[in-house]
Structure 1
Amino acid sequence: MTPGDVTDVEQCPGVSYVDTGMYDTAEYGSVYVIDADRPAIVDTGIGTNYERILHALDEQGIAPDDLEAILVTHVHLDHTGGAGFLAAECPNADVYVHEIGARHLVDPERLVAGTKEAVGDQWQYYTEPKPVPEDRIVELEGGDAIDLGSRELTAHHAPGHAPHQVVFEDHSCDAVFTADAAGIWVPSQDRVRETSPPPNFDLEQCIDDVELIRRLDPDVLLYAHFGPGPDDTDAVLKQYEQVLRDWVDAVKYEVVERGGEEAAIDHFAASTEVAEVWGDHKASAETAMNVRGVLRYLKTQEE
């Protein structure tokens, strides 16, 4: 796919996704459109090029005034940066978010500051988010049902990646919108990759979240990064558990081997295997951020 392309999810009739071109990178950020009695989207991208999401709605015959639900998996800005812009364009859509993250959509100042600290010079790809009006927010707890009329979704709390993260289970087609709880699916490499950004990455809770998704026994995993996953969902979830464990062990080893944290960060950033897919800058910056997340997690384990 290339940025702006819209594709149907074969395993899930009525669901399509658009490549948002996040970070000026193809096949990294996807936003899903759910064609239902009450039309919805899942996640909103980083705020740049949100017109591509409006185009995806148009491709499904959904006018902006007809969109009724903007479902955000968590409030990291690569998932909610477009929420305020889309809420303004789609005046009849409420924004559904876990209760822990709701205040950050209404007043994103602290969220922006934390994002700038976490992503470093990747901030150049973002735009300042637009606040979501408080009366448009619907706060979610784990287990809450979202009634879209012709289909129903359940929000499951999955706080390992971030305390405000949920995954959405679509009962009509046994799909799970995975947020970042199942890792990053890299279609061109046919593999799942770690995501462990600061400040909230927690290895044990992340593994619990993977187990949660496995218990839901989905037929398809719908990744925010990127697109539908492989047919064997159980195998890729088991694989991701091992990816996480190996990743944390590798960071611990390289800190010792290279004599310090910064040297370990530089090592991983220079040797990432996704540079050929995402480009050198995005791949190295993403990897460095993930290393910093593991280092922060390891410090909390020592305390």
Structure 2
Amino acid sequence: MRAGEFEPVRGVEDLYVHDTGMFDTDEYGAVYVYDAERPIVIDTGTGANRESLFESIEAIGIDREELAWILPTHAHLDHAGGAGYLAERYPNAEVRVPEKGVRHLVDPDALVAGTKSAVEEQWEYYAEPRPVPDERIAGVADGDRIDLGDRELVVRDAPGHAPHHAVYHDPDADVVFAADAAGIYVPAVDAVTPTTPPPQFDFEQCLDDIRLIEEIDPETVCFGHFGPRTCDEALIGEAKRAYVEWVERVREKRAELGDDEAVVEHFESASRDVDYWNRERARANASLNARGVLTYLDRAGDEA
């Protein structure tokens, strides 16, 4: 896919995936549009390329007054940064997000500051988020259900990536919207790579989140980065290995170099993400992932 395009998700009726063109990179940021009886947008992108998302929603056939739900999987701004803009455009849509993320969407100042610190010069690819009005937003928790009229989504907590992270399961269509819970899927090489950003990445919980998806055993996993993929034993095994091997690589390189900035610089230079993303995005991704693991190792006493 190319930035701004959308296409049906194979095997799931009425479900579409939209490429946001996030970070000026094709096949990196996905938004899912479910044209159900009560239509829903799952994740929102950063908000920077919102006009192309609006065009996709219109082309799918959903009117401005018809959209019922805006459902970020978590409060990180690459998934929820557009929530306020969507709420403005779609006056009847209610925003739902895992409970710990509600305050960040109502008052995004702290989240913006943290994101700017983490992504540094990549902030140019974000829109300044607009607050979601209090009366338009509520939290969801494990086991809650989102009513789409002719189907429903079941909320499952998946806090390894961040405490305010969940996955959403449609039992009827046998699809899980995994966001970042199972890593990043790279269609160009049909492979999974980990996503371990600071400051709240939790390695053991991430493995538990992947096991949760394994237990649900869906036909399709919809990755926030990027796109739908048939779920099978090989995919789940690859996701687990990717996290285990990545954390061990960072741990070993820290022991070797003894300097965290040198560790980050090493992984920025060694990243193979340039094989499928632009160089700037590949370097930024490697930096965030390395810093997230280093922060986790500090929190775990380097004994995890």
TM-score interval (norm. to shorter):
over 0.9
1:112-261 maps to which residues of 2 (within 5 A)?
112-229=112-229, 231-261=230-260
The answer as to whether partners of 1:17 and 1:56 remain within 8 angstroms in 2 is no
Query: 1:175 Cα deviation (Å)?
Result: 0.2
What is the distance in 2 between the residues matched to 1:34 and 1:115?
A: 28
Q: Secondary structure at the match of 1:97?
A: strand
Q: Does 1:11 align with 2:11?
A: yes
Query: 1:214 Cα deviation (Å)?
Result: 0.7
Q: Secondary structure at the match of 1:200?
A: coil
Query: 1:258 Cα deviation (Å)?
Result: 2.7
The answer as to whether partners of 2:218 and 2:231 remain within 8 angstroms in 1 is no
1:10-29 maps to which residues of 2 (within 5 A)?
10-29=10-29
Q: Secondary structure at the match of 2:181?
A: coil
Distance 1:134 1:232, change over 3 A: closer
What is the distance in 2 between the residues matched to 1:282 and 1:155?
A: 31
The answer as to whether partners of 1:54 and 1:64 remain within 8 angstroms in 2 is no
Counterpart residue number, 2:282: 283
CA RMSD of aligned residues (A): 1.0
Q: Secondary structure at the match of 1:188?
A: coil
Query: 1:41 Cα deviation (Å)?
Result: 0.6
1:76-91 maps to which residues of 2 (within 5 A)?
76-91=76-91
TM-score in terms of structure 2 length: 0.97
Q: Secondary structure at the match of 1:253?
A: helix
Aligned residues: 302
What is the distance in 2 between the residues matched to 1:154 and 1:269?
A: 38
Counterpart residue number, 1:72: 72
What is the distance in 2 between the residues matched to 1:289 and 1:118?
A: 7
Deviation string, structure 1 residues 282-303 (Cα, Å, up to 9, x no partner): 1011111110000000001118
What is the distance in 1 between the residues matched to 2:231 and 2:32?
A: 21
* Percent pairwise identity: 48
Q: Secondary structure at the match of 2:130?
A: coil
Counterpart residue number, 2:299: 300
The answer as to whether partners of 1:217 and 1:234 remain within 8 angstroms in 2 is no
Aligned partner letter, 1:22: M
Counterpart residue number, 2:93: 93
Query: 1:232 Cα deviation (Å)?
Result: 4.2
What is the distance in 2 between the residues matched to 1:20 and 1:45?
A: 6
What is the distance in 2 between the residues matched to 1:138 and 1:68?
A: 14
